[in-house]
Structure 1
Amino acid sequence: MLIVETIAKIRRAYFVQQKPIKVICREFGLSRKVVRKVIRSEATEFCYTRTNQPLPKIGPWREELDALLLANEGKASRERLTLVRLFETLRSRGYEGGYDAVRRYARVWRQEQGPSVAQAYVPLSFAPGEAYQFDWSHEVVLINGTTVTVKVAHVRLCHSRMLFVRAYPRESQEMVFDAHDRAFAFFKGACTRGIYDNMKTAVDTIFAGKERVYNRRFLQMCSHYLVDPVACTPASGWEKGQVENQVGLVRERFFTPRLRVKSYDELNGLLLDRCVAHAKAYRHPEMRERTVWEMFETERPSLVPYAGRFDGFHAVPASVSKTCLVRFDNNKYSVVAGAVGRLVEIRAYAERIELRQDGRIVGEHARCFGRDRTVFDPWHYVPVLARKPGALRNGAPFKDWVLPAGLERVRRKLAAVEDGDRQMVDILGAVLSDGLPAVEAACAEALREGVHSAAVILNILARRREPAAPITIMTSDALRLRHEPAADCARYDSLRRPL
């Protein structure tokens, strides 16, 4: 194929230097047909399109690569492998060619599958500390041998491209609050602007343009961290394209192959380590001479200082049943017996449940994310045992109740006594007034003396509650008597009157 320089030399030799075609052919070693084509067409460039690509390396692997591409297209978007992963799979089977051949073949293969619509975007630029982007994704992991779909919160600093991810069982509002707090604590600061999609936990109403009515609690969180929230246009993910790309990167690099962990704590610890390792290993897309972590270190002074933990709870009212239970999120949680009959406020945090009544805490539990489970605190039911001591033996809250060592030994010994349940209830009732450490110490003292009855243990507690003996005042030598008086009964006889 003629190059542009040769075409220019032919045209100058013929039109400027007035050389005949025969001389031009001899000088450049070309046929008369080619020289005449250049002169007559007046074109300055000729392009040749190959109709049949031989593909010497990838040719024997076409059928296998077609099968891999077809199987990959049939998967859900979150489970699709990138071309790099497909190339690595092909190499593991014996392919000796390069990645570019696989990439070109895959592009042609996709064009043959269906026409694509090209879209153009405007590149965005952010100043240090100006903005971050937030989004959710769903990933599949194995937790304690069970396949679970977890919800992963993604936060990305727009300037440095530093990423933070954390997994949760839900996408509820308290999880949003917890994700922001942990991200800002990790970054040691927040940005002045946060970019979100129109998630229901943040946006109540969408109007035309950028006008939104935000959730009241969400606005409280943004005010706490001094963040100005901005919602994207509906169905316009490119407005927060960085975090959208991060979702795909995290899915490919962090969750493929499928992770196997024992708990959410182990999973989140692993994700945080991988975030730091990825930031230290990969170059910034714009500042190629620096890593993402180095850019993050330079952006940190520009962040709004971390304001401390936001009290991020989701509050709902609930009624208390006669069995001292409150239902929330398909599970039941116990409260103190005195709260029965009145409404309580449930404050749901990411990892715990707090139940309040008239401003005081009447129950607090680690949060349960299963279904139809009941979470008991046996101490909530101790006041009820004063009226129904028989419930200690078969009551559901007291099944597998782990007591301190001293109390447990007393309980086992009283189990063989006729009124052992009543005595044990009296001892447990003392915990509400004297405290668990005091009752535990009294039980230990009674066991050392070889007794275990409730009367003895309560007597020990009563003695310890008595005020201490007054301190004896030590007198100085100046106040001490030099001649102590002697007892003389005859002195009393002298006082007697004669009869």
Structure 2
Amino acid sequence: MHGNHRQDTPHKIKGESISAIARDLNLSRNTVKKYLNAEVDPVYQRERQPAPKLGELQPVLETWLEQDSQRPKRERRTAQRLFEDLQREGYAGAYDSVQRLVKHWKTQRPGASQDAFVPLVFAAGDACQFDWSHEHVILGGVAQVVKLAHFRLSHSRQMFLAAYPRESQEMVFDAHNRAFAFFGGVPVRMIYDNPKTIVESIFSGKDRQFNRRFLALASHYLFEPVACTPASGWEKEQVENQVGNVREWLFTPILRFDALAELNAWLETRCTELANRPHPTWKERPIAEVFAEEQPRLRPITMPFDGYFEQTLRVSSTCLVSYDRNRYSVPAEHAGQRISLRANANRIRVVADGKLIAEHARHFGRERLILDPWHYLSVLEKKPGALRNGAPFQDWALPAAIGAVKDKLLKSPQGDRAFVEVLLAMRQYGADMVTVACELALEEGIVTTPVILNHMHRLLSPAKPEPITVSTALMLAIEPVADCTRYDSLRGGVPCWLN
């Protein structure tokens, strides 16, 4: 132990007692005596930091730490949170004691030694890293969790973000379409974790069995999919760090938007704005400048990938198919048949025999009915009474004139059947033509199906041509006279009636 030569102390200069000095310095009397008797100033060195003593609550804290270690990283409690939870259990000590024990516990765990990594370098256009995160937002006044797709070009560090209600495969496809459109091209490789939407089986080393539909995406854009080693986040360290940065930069405080589309438009704008930050490697250059140099190295996009998730279903007797806890209508003639449902990120398409038979905007609630009234028109031909109470027709947004005709016809006997005839004409000739016919009938004050159909047929019949006025200059001065005897001369003078 080394130190400087001891200087005079208050004990000698001011005559203070050892007890007073110990009390002022918060030391024991023996420590003060040891210092006063030393030849040189002692330098205090603690060879080992003792673990903090929490009494009976120390096992409780250690149990909490063990439980948290089994949870995802974002769900683990901080030392401050653990301190507050201990206070509710009756702990009256200081925060730094809890903090030191948490740090001590983590350093003493098996395998807690500091890992070493190799710095990674990526060429322009070589690779892009992908990951998901869960972020809290308020959409339409409702607090909810969105799944945020993260993309990051490994060379330029240009990022792209897109929010979705699910992490399902069709969302993965849509996110890639949007990211590649934003980047203006496709990198040589895409680096992923091992989610089921991308990887079906993990073998030894880097060998993977990728999902068949995902391989169709990779083949369409001609990129090489690369899956990281499990629990080796350093292989895509850039996007792992991006998750935390984006949460701090963009989602704190909590964001508020009316709809998911508005959130995604805002995120795309922010990705462009954040590219003005300095590049982590070339700090004198912004990310946007490096990205502009990398962009020509990306493979051009010919057309987006039709990224749908396909499922074979049977149409119910009520002309419905179920998907993702909601039900969608299909034309009645396909009731009881098997169809192919193709789910995109925002659309539901129904295909039968290779032909599109129905399409709906996708909904993400639960137990919702998404109905198209036209799908049930053939049922109304046989059961017109369903027009009054049928679910597809309750909130049918018809043109104003047709809606007025419906109200008048349904007040009369057999009015539902009469209005079904108007709807059939509407399907055949279009809403505009039938709307004009209904307006003419309402103006005349005679609202019946024959009158409406008559107006429509008159509208459809071709207009009579205007009479042509012939100029007098073109008229013959001497009009020809019919003379059949001229033909007799051609027969040698024998009248044709004698033959």
Q: Under TM normalisation by the shorter chain, which class is it?
A: 0.7 to 0.9
Q: Which residue of 2 aligns with 1:393?
A: 388
Is the 1:317–1:346 Cα contact (8 Å) retained in structure 2? yes
Is the 1:316–1:345 Cα contact (8 Å) retained in structure 2? yes
1:171 deviates by: 0.8
The CA distance in 2 between the partners of 1:140 and 1:150, in whole Å, is 6
- Alignment map for 1:79-90 (pairs within 5 Å): none
Is the 1:154–1:165 Cα contact (8 Å) retained in structure 2? yes
Over residues 56-98 of structure 1, what are the superposed CA-to-partner deviations in whole Å (9 max), with x where a residue is unaligned?
A: xxxxxxxxxxxxxx9xx99974378999xx9xxxxxxxxxxxx
Q: Which residue of 2 aligns with 1:412?
A: 407
Q: Which residue of 1 aligns with 2:14?
A: none
Q: 1:300 aligns with which of 280, 295, 302?
A: 295
1:485 deviates by: 7.9
1:419 deviates by: 2.8
- Alignment map for 1:281-300 (pairs within 5 Å): 282-300=277-295
Q: Which residue of 1 aligns with 2:326?
A: 331
Q: 1:185 to 1:477 in 2, by over 3 A?
A: farther
The CA distance in 1 between the partners of 2:205 and 2:468, in whole Å, is 84
Is the 1:339–1:362 Cα contact (8 Å) retained in structure 2? no
Q: 1:222 aligns with which of 218, 223, 231?
A: 218
Q: 1:114 to 1:77 in 2, by over 3 A?
A: closer
Match status 1:447 vs 2:447: no
The CA distance in 2 between the partners of 1:135 and 1:447, in whole Å, is 61
Over residues 95-130 of structure 1, what are the superposed CA-to-partner deviations in whole Å (9 max), with x where a residue is unaligned?
A: xxxxxxxxx999978644531521111111111111
Is the 1:331–1:370 Cα contact (8 Å) retained in structure 2? yes
Q: May I ask how many residue pairs the two structures share in their alignment?
A: 409
1:476 deviates by: 8.1
Match status 1:122 vs 2:118: yes
- Alignment map for 1:330-479 (pairs within 5 Å): 330-467=325-462, 469=464
1:287 deviates by: 0.5
Q: 1:82 to 1:291 in 2, by over 3 A?
A: farther
Q: 1:342 to 1:76 in 2, by over 3 A?
A: closer
Q: 1:264 aligns with which of 254, 260, 263?
A: 260
Match status 1:152 vs 2:148: yes
- Alignment map for 1:200-211 (pairs within 5 Å): 200-211=196-207
* Paired letter, 1:191: P
* Paired letter, 1:245: N
The CA distance in 2 between the partners of 1:337 and 1:348, in whole Å, is 21
The CA distance in 1 between the partners of 2:181 and 2:99, in whole Å, is 43
1:316 deviates by: 0.5
* Paired letter, 2:390: G
Q: Which residue of 1 aligns with 2:20?
A: none
Over aligned residues, Cα RMSD in angstroms? Answer: 3.4
Q: Which residue of 1 aligns with 2:6?
A: none
1:257 deviates by: 1.9
1:405 deviates by: 1.8
Q: Which residue of 2 aligns with 1:248?
A: 244
1:441 deviates by: 2.6
- Is the partner of 1:142 in helix, strand or coil? strand
What 5-or-longer segments of structure 1 have no aligned partner? 3-32, 35-46, 53-69, 87-103, 487-499
Q: 1:321 aligns with which of 316, 323, 333?
A: 316
The CA distance in 2 between the partners of 1:471 and 1:303, in whole Å, is 65
- Is the partner of 1:208 in helix, strand or coil? coil
Q: Which residue of 1 aligns with 2:181?
A: 185
- Is the partner of 1:141 in helix, strand or coil? strand
- Is the partner of 2:437 in helix, strand or coil? helix
What 5-or-longer segments of structure 2 have no aligned partner? 3-38, 48-64, 82-95, 482-499
* Paired letter, 1:295: V
1:170 deviates by: 0.8
1:166 deviates by: 0.9
Q: Which residue of 1 aligns with 2:26?
A: none
Match status 1:481 vs 2:476: yes
* Paired letter, 1:196: Y
* Paired letter, 2:232: S
Over residues 145-197 of structure 1, what are the superposed CA-to-partner deviations in whole Å (9 max), with x where a residue is unaligned?
A: 32212111111100111111111111111100100001111111111111111
* Paired letter, 2:106: G
Q: Which residue of 1 aligns with 2:137?
A: 141
Q: 1:81 to 1:113 in 2, by over 3 A?
A: closer
Is the 1:324–1:337 Cα contact (8 Å) retained in structure 2? yes
Q: 1:419 to 1:50 in 2, by over 3 A?
A: same
1:276 deviates by: 2.0
- Is the partner of 1:132 in helix, strand or coil? strand
- Alignment map for 1:157-172 (pairs within 5 Å): 157-172=153-168
1:475 deviates by: 7.2
- Is the partner of 1:114 in helix, strand or coil? helix
Q: Which residue of 1 aligns with 2:270?
A: 274
Of 468-477 and 127-136, the range deviating more from structure 2: 468-477
* Paired letter, 2:367: D
Is the 1:317–1:344 Cα contact (8 Å) retained in structure 2? yes
The CA distance in 1 between the partners of 2:400 and 2:167, in whole Å, is 41
- Is the partner of 2:382 in helix, strand or coil? coil
Q: 1:238 aligns with which of 231, 234, 239?
A: 234
The CA distance in 1 between the partners of 2:98 and 2:124, in whole Å, is 38
- Is the partner of 1:452 in helix, strand or coil? coil
The CA distance in 2 between the partners of 1:146 and 1:76, in whole Å, is 25
1:444 deviates by: 2.5
1:448 deviates by: 3.4
1:413 deviates by: 2.5
Q: Which residue of 2 aligns with 1:16?
A: none
* Paired letter, 1:243: V
The CA distance in 2 between the partners of 1:77 and 1:232, in whole Å, is 18
The CA distance in 2 between the partners of 1:352 and 1:49, in whole Å, is 71
1:305 deviates by: 1.2
1:285 deviates by: 0.6
The CA distance in 2 between the partners of 1:301 and 1:448, in whole Å, is 65
Over residues 1-55 of structure 1, what are the superposed CA-to-partner deviations in whole Å (9 max), with x where a residue is unaligned?
A: 99xxxxxxxxxxxxxxxxxxxxxxxxxxxxxx99xxxxxxxxxxxx977769xxx
Percent identity for Structure 1 against Structure 2: 51
Q: 1:199 to 1:77 in 2, by over 3 A?
A: closer
Over residues 312-333 of structure 1, what are the superposed CA-to-partner deviations in whole Å (9 max), with x where a residue is unaligned?
A: 1111000011111111111110
- Is the partner of 2:124 in helix, strand or coil? coil
The CA distance in 1 between the partners of 2:171 and 2:340, in whole Å, is 19
